[in-house]
Every structure is written in C-alpha cells, then in structure tokens.
Amino acid sequence: MAASRYRRFLRLCEEWPVEETKQQRDLGAVLRQRVAQAFREGENTPISDPEACDQMYESLVRIHTNFYKNKYPRLKDTTFTGVTVEDCRMILATDILKQMEDMKKGTWKRLREKFSAKKPEEDSK
C-alpha cells in the first residue's frame, strides 16, 4: 500500500507547477523536498500513520485543483484594495522583493555599500 501512496505523491509533484519568480519560496519546491524526506526509501518506505498520509494527499490535491476556488467563485478577481492577481504575483516575485529590501536600507548604509571597497558580506563578519 505504501507503494501506491508514494506513486500518488510523485504524480502530484510532477503536476504541481514550479514558479521561477519565487526562488526559495515556492510551494512546489517545498512539496518536492517534503515528499523526498517522507519517502526516503521510495516505495518501500513504511508509513506509520496511513490515514494522516491519505488526508495530507487529499488536502494537497484540493489545493492543486483549486477545489475551493471553484466551489466558491468570487464576484471580482480583485482584493479590497483593487489589486489584481497578476499585480500580486508581480509584487511577490523575488526580484521585486529584493528591490524593495534595497529601498528600505538607510541612506548612510547605501552610500557606505556603494563606496566601500569591501563586499557587504564582509562587513557583517
């Protein structure tokens, strides 16, 4: 029975998209890592709690298939602020978040990094 559970999780990992814009914060990548950790021995991995395993799989399938999004459709595809889904994706992209982090730095720190001969990583050592 563990073999069929393992195959179902592998199939889910193959279907789950990887978002390149969310480096190190992608749910698909985390899912792949967790499945690899949980099934270290592949199909021969003993499962201590099969019910919890099946429940986790079903929950992930509901997320992947947008079950609740389809069950409870929204009237508008915006938030209360008027931001669309595409705007949210763009804002949450890793490159944009890095730019925002740079903007948060104080003027003195930016000037010091700009004119310093050392790399910023060396400053913190």
pLDDT of residue 67: 95
| pLDDT level of residue 113 (50, 70, 90 thresholds) | confident
Whole-number pLDDT of residue 121: 56
Spatial separation of the C-alpha atoms in residues 101 and 1, rounded to whole Å:
48
- The pLDDT-based confidence of 118 (bands split at 50, 70, 90) is low
Residue 19 Cα distances to 61, 77, 94, 95, angstroms: 18, 21, 10, 13
Give the pLDDT score at 108. 72
Q: What is the pLDDT at residue 84?
A: 79
pTM summary value:
0.61
**39-74 per-position pLDDT tens digit:** 888 888 888 888 999 999 999 999 999 999 899 988
Sequence-separated (6 or more) residues with CB below 8 Å from residue 111: none
- According to DSSP, the residues that pair with 16 across neighbouring strands are none
Mean of per-residue pLDDT scores for the chain:
80
| Distance of alpha carbon 85 from alpha carbon 83, whole angstroms | 7
Q: List helix spans (H) across 1-125.
A: 2-15, 27-38, 50-64, 67-71, 85-91, 94-104, 107-115, 120-123
- In whole angstroms, give the CA distance from residue 29 to residue 68: 22
Range with top average pLDDT, 11-15, 23-27, 102-106, 118-122 = 11-15
